[in-house]
Amino acid sequence: MSFSKTRQGSVQHPEGVEVVVDTQDDRLVKESAHLIEQLGRDKTKSKYTVYFGAKGVELRLSSHIHKKGILVDFSTIDRRIGAGNLSKKQQLPKAIGDYTTVIDATAGFGKDAMLLTLMGYNVIAIEQSPIISVLLRDGLYRAQLNTELDEAIGGRLQFVESNSINHFSKIENPEVIYIDPMFPPKKKKSALPPGHIQALQSIVGHENPKETTLMFEAALQTATQRIVIKRPTHSQHIKNNPVAVHEGKTIRYDVYRPS
Ligand SMILES: C[S@@+](CC[C@H](N)C(=O)[O-])C[C@H]1O[C@@H](n2cnc3c(N)ncnc32)[C@H](O)[C@@H]1O
């Protein structure tokens, strides 16, 4: 199916999204073509639609296609000194420590990756879902159009569309690898508002514990300094004897040394 540059009929995809292109913007038309190529075509109805429109890339409910959806908007992060969002006294930067390079192995909607970038880390954030990846690239593109935010990012953030386990070997000497798996959704405190969590779960599903273990083991072989994994407070450690645990109310960050 070829895509003209105006509003299309929708195309359904196996991962549970439809795609609507309602823009003539070259960047977005190319992104939509890339997404369709990644996902193939399917005739089933989908709960969510990836909507390429005037505001960028949005995840809209297919049943409310004309209503505003979820888009990755980094401009809403409160960057004021004193607001606390970028304080290195928080549990995550304390777990990551005083290093330079962080691989965020599970980018999601990119909130942690952006917060770490704005704190001063160099971040490579990897996301395996092509749907979430297209939203992330669009979010970063729009963030870079905002001069102040672009300066604060300082070219230190990169999003990679890939499976982390396959991608780790392509990164030279990453100091810290950070893993924030999906599971278990109800017990885990998330940085994301509820609609975002539901959308993410609907699109990428819940955690596959075997894959998390594989990712963790690959991270142990790859990071030069630390591996940090976010877990619900009462869950078991993925491996005995973390070297440090930074605990919040409902989640904790377990820190391990590389093998
Ligand atoms: C809980 S979310 C991460 C949320 C993120 N920390 C944030 O601040 O938005 C987990 C994400 O990891 C992604 N993911 C899971 N396994 C992955 C893998 N092997 N490689 C890359 N991404 C993966 C999922 O698709 C999902 O988007």
Contact 111, 139 (CB under 8 A): no
CATH class given for the domain over 75-256: alpha beta
Query: How many angstroms separate the most distant Cα atoms in the chain?
Result: 56
Ligand 1 test: best mutation among 48, 70, 92, 106, most atoms within 8 Å of CB?
Answer: 106
The residues spanned by each domain of the chain are 11-64, 75-256
In terms of C-beta density within 10 A (0-12 exposed, 13-18 middle, 19 or more buried), how is residue 163 classed?
A: middle
Distance from the CA of 244 to the center of ligand 1, in angstroms?
23
Instruction: Supply the residue whose CA is at minimum distance from atom 16 of ligand 1.
Output: 106
Distance from the CA of 119 to the center of ligand 1, in angstroms?
20
Ligand 1 contacts CB of residue 108 (under 6 A): yes
Mean pLDDT for all residues in the chain: 90
Distance from the CA of 129 to the center of ligand 1, in angstroms?
8
pLDDT beyond 60 at 76: yes
pLDDT beyond 50 at 45: yes
Check residues 72 and 206 and name the one with the higher pLDDT: 72
Backbone angles phi, psi at 234, to 5 degrees: -95, 10
Distance, CA of 144 to CA of 41 (rounded, Å): 32
168: left (phi over 0), alpha (psi -120 to 50) or beta: alpha
Instruction: Supply the residue whose CA is at minimum distance from atom 27 of ligand 1.
Output: 108
| DSSP code per residue over 55-115 | TEEEEEEGGGTTS--B---GGGS---TTSSTT-TTSHHHHHH-S-SEEEES--TTSHHHHH
Identify which of 204, 202, 198 has the alpha carbon closest to the alpha carbon of residue 181.
Answer: 204
Contact 29, 21 (CB under 8 A): yes
Check residues 91 and 7 and name the one with the higher pLDDT: 91
Name the least confident of 4-13, 120-129, 190-199.
4-13
Check residues 118 and 194 and name the one with the higher pLDDT: 118
For residues 150-172, give the mean pLDDT. 97
pLDDT beyond 60 at 153: yes
Distance from the CA of 193 to the center of ligand 1, in angstroms?
16
Ligand 1 contacts CB of residue 15 (under 6 A): no
Backbone angles phi, psi at 161, to 5 degrees: -90, 105
Ligand 1 contacts CB of residue 20 (under 6 A): no
Structure tokens at 217: 């083991």
Distance, CA of 27 to CA of 140 (rounded, Å): 13
**Tens digit of pLDDT for each residue in 225-256?**
999 999 999 899 999 999 999 998 899 999 99
Q: So what's the pLDDT on residue 1?
A: 28
Backbone angles phi, psi at 53, to 5 degrees: -145, -160
pLDDT level of residue 182 (50, 70, 90 thresholds): confident
Ligand 1 contacts CB of residue 212 (under 6 A): no
Distance from the CA of 28 to the center of ligand 1, in angstroms?
23
Helix (H, G, I), strand (E, B) or coil at 84: coil
Check residues 182 and 155 and name the one with the higher pLDDT: 155
Distance from the CA of 206 to the center of ligand 1, in angstroms?
10
pLDDT level of residue 101 (50, 70, 90 thresholds): very high
pLDDT level of residue 81 (50, 70, 90 thresholds): confident
Cα-to-chain-centroid distance, residue 56:
17
Ligand 1 test: best mutation among 167, 182, 196, 197, most atoms within 8 Å of CB?
Answer: 182
pLDDT beyond 70 at 190: no
pLDDT beyond 50 at 9: no
pLDDT level of residue 115 (50, 70, 90 thresholds): very high
**Given the structure tokens 């100091």, which residue do they identify?**
175
Ligand 1 test: best mutation among 70, 73, 127, most atoms within 8 Å of CB?
Answer: 127
